[in-house]
Structure 1
Amino acid sequence: AVERGVEEKVFLDLLLRKMRAVMMFRFVANSRKEMANDFPAEDIALIEELSKNAIQTLTSRELAEVLKAYESVRVAVVPGLALELAILRISGK
């Protein structure tokens, strides 16, 4: 994202919103109706697909790691470091 000119904080904000939406689709009945105004139709389709297929790969643990990265962006010395560390923690490396 940084290489394409997207600020890390903006990227993480969008990622967090979509991760949250995936979890909402999985655990909250009728969340599709509530979120229809928050995302374009193609995003809703992707979120719905991910909510069906990401049962073991997206949990509150992963969401918490990305949230920590989001909070750390403003103090990170190296651009991208907060997200890279979150990915390493999520992958268990």
Structure 2
Amino acid sequence: GYPSEDGEQPKKDIPGYRFVETKKLPNGDTEHVYEKVKTSHKDKEGNDIPGYPSEDGEQPKKDIPGYRFVETKKLPNGDTEHVYEKVKTSHKD
């Protein structure tokens, strides 16, 4: 974890987290609030891929049966989105 520090400190860049807000507490302390970034697996239309929910932290792309990896997007809020497209299977005689 990140310890308390004396004085009013600026917010920090903490890997795996995004800054949310700074609060001034009633006792005069300053509290910086962060939340974990998430990684999601979506199809090209932006839909979640069934069976692959969002995960905490920055996660690597996955091999998903029936899908081909297209790209990784770093979203403005710090989240990571891996984009996949459905693989078409054609059967030839």
The TM-score with structure 1 as length reference comes to 0.20
Larger radius of gyration: 2
TM-score, length-scaled by structure 2: 0.20
Q: More helix by proportion, 1 or 2?
A: 1
